[in-house]
Amino acid sequence: MTNRVYLDHAATTALVPAAIEAITRELARLGNPSSLHGSGRDARRVVEESREAVAAAFGAHPTEVIFTAGGTEADNLAIKGGFWAARSADPARNRVAISAIEHHAVLESADWLGREQGAVVDVLPVDAEGRVDPGAVGGQDTALVSVIWANNEIGTVQPVPAIAEAAHRIGALAHSDGVQAAGTLPVDFAASGLDLLTVTGHKLGGPVGVGALFARRELTLTPVLHGGGQERDVRSGTLDVPSVAGFAAAVDASIADRADHAVRLRALRDRLTAGLATLPGVRVNGPTAPDEVLPGIVNASFDGCDADAIVLLLDQAGIDASAGAACSAGVTEPSHVLLAMGRTPAEARSAVRFSFGRTTSDVDLDRLLAVLPDIVVRARAAGSLSSW
């Protein structure tokens, strides 16, 4: 179907023109950036200029930027590599503290450390709006604390500097997954106090398959990948020069108009939130204060509905949104984020996420708000029939 309304930018967003231009330019380049000859040095120059641009955009030194294949790899390197490094320095540090609403890349990495490496995993609770209390950060034997900067389902923004400070008071490393935050919030690595920070390209207008882990210069991580020793000898593998260049171009573009972009998204969010308030049995999840939630995410529970039914009915109407629940092996599970916030399983299963980006317009919201009342009625009817 042509002319679809795309409201799933938190999953992935469109390439910005600057990224397309950078990728296209570099696709014709021949040379491995690890090679010593002229072609290799030319490729390396593109990588290092991109590294400098990404570092400057996020308040870091270029040597603190480790390019990865995306957010999942960066989270794995931060959680596993950070834990191993901290435990190697002090064997008594055997705990990892993560929030209950982390992305699965962090949740599963910590779970693996618990199952396979003997780590004790502490899950930090959140309040009804999805916030972590910095005072809840773990004990003296904690190796690493990881709290997502802004949640990918509900958009809750965490007090990252306070959490980093709390982690350092107990001698632990502090990591944050900044994937959702990086495109619309002023994410500054140095000012945050973090030791480790994850970002990725395809959530802010860059290509899929490239991201970065920011790691303090004095921090020695244990590698997760082994091979040629690229990227500070902690992330082996030949770098994808076109993707790295596209990532840097997208970062520059997102930083250039971030404030105006956030204002525009906030207006769209306010309009959708007001529209949802007119529908019976609909509840917006997450904070209400503008500075405590991402401007481009609206997560709502629809009483008596299954989220998959609403998503499929929206799809038939030419509108893309996502269920606020993870699907594993064909079985829809209630959102772990909403359950951690105290929602019931039924509420968690009824949650739909609408997320906005640079291509989202008021016309898109016109179409959504026009069809949504009927879709909710149909989804509730389907739910009533299935309960017989």
| Three state DSSP letters for the chain | CCCCEECECCCCCCCCHHHHHHHHHHHCCCCCCCCCCHHHHHHHHHHHHHHHHHHHHCCCCHHHEEEECCHHHHHHHHHHHHHHHHHHHCCCCCEEEEECCCCHHHHHHHHHHHHHCCCEEEEECECCCCCECHHHCCCCCEEEEECCCECCCCCEECCHHHHHHHHHHCCCEEEEECCCCCCCCCCCHHHHCCCEEEEECCCCCCCCCCEEEEECCCCCCCCCECCCCHHHHCECCCCCHHHHHHHHHHHHHHHHCHHHHHHHHHHHHHHHHHHHCCCCCEEEECCCCHHHECCCEEEEEECCCCHHHHHHHHHHCCEECEECCCEECCEECCCHHHHHCCCCHHHHHCEEEEECCCCCCHHHHHHHHHHHHHHHHHHHHHHHHHCC
Q: Within 10 A of 331 (CB to CB), how many other CB atoms are there?
A: 7
The answer to whether residue 327 is catalytic is: yes
CA–CA separation, 384 vs 32, rounded Å?
60
Q: Give the pLDDT confidence score for residue 140 in this predicted structure.
A: 84
Residue among 146, 139, 148, 80 nearest 114 (CA)? 80
Beta carbons of 282 and 350 less than 8 angstroms apart: no
Instruction: Please give the domain boundaries of the chain with CATH numbers for all domains.
Output: 17-256 (3.40.640.10), 258-386 (3.90.1150.10)
Extract the tokens encoding 228: 């040629």
pLDDT tens-digit map of 113-147? 999 999 999 999 999 999 999 999 978 899 999 99
Q: Give the pLDDT confidence score for residue 382 in this predicted structure.
A: 83
pLDDT tens-digit map of 314-332? 999 999 999 965 544 455 6
pLDDT tens-digit map of 195-230? 999 999 999 999 999 999 999 999 999 999 999 999
Q: Within 10 A of 191 (CB to CB), how many other CB atoms are there?
A: 11
CA–CA separation, 301 vs 307, rounded Å?
8
* Bridge partners, residue 283, by sequence: 301
Q: Give the pLDDT confidence score for residue 329 in this predicted structure.
A: 40
Q: Which residues, at least 6 apart from 359, have a Cβ–Cβ distance to it below 8 Å?
A: 6, 13, 14
The pLDDT profile of the chain, 388 residues, written as one tens digit per residue, is 468 999 999 999 999 999 999 999 999 999 999 999 999 999 999 999 999 999 999 999 999 999 999 999 999 999 999 999 999 999 999 999 999 999 999 999 999 999 999 999 999 999 999 999 999 997 889 999 999 999 999 999 999 999 999 999 999 999 999 999 999 999 999 999 999 999 999 999 999 999 999 999 999 999 999 999 999 999 999 999 999 999 999 999 999 999 999 999 999 999 999 999 999 999 999 998 999 999 999 999 999 999 999 999 999 999 999 996 554 445 568 999 999 999 999 999 999 999 999 999 999 999 999 999 999 999 999 875 454 4
Q: Give the pLDDT confidence score for residue 333 in this predicted structure.
A: 82
Q: Give the pLDDT confidence score for residue 138 in this predicted structure.
A: 75
* Bridge partners, residue 6, by sequence: 320
Beta carbons of 306 and 385 less than 8 angstroms apart: no
Phi, psi of 201 (to 5 degrees): -80, -40
Q: Give the pLDDT confidence score for residue 330 in this predicted structure.
A: 52
Active-site entry in 27, 128, 191, 327: 327
Per-position b or e across 109-119, b if 16+ CB within 10 A of its CB: bbbebeeeeeb
Q: Give the pLDDT confidence score for residue 388 in this predicted structure.
A: 40
pTM of the predicted model as reported, rounded to 2 decimal places: 0.95
Extract the tokens encoding 263: 């204002």
CA–CA separation, 376 vs 310, rounded Å?
7
Residue among 139, 145, 168, 142 nearest 158 (CA)? 145
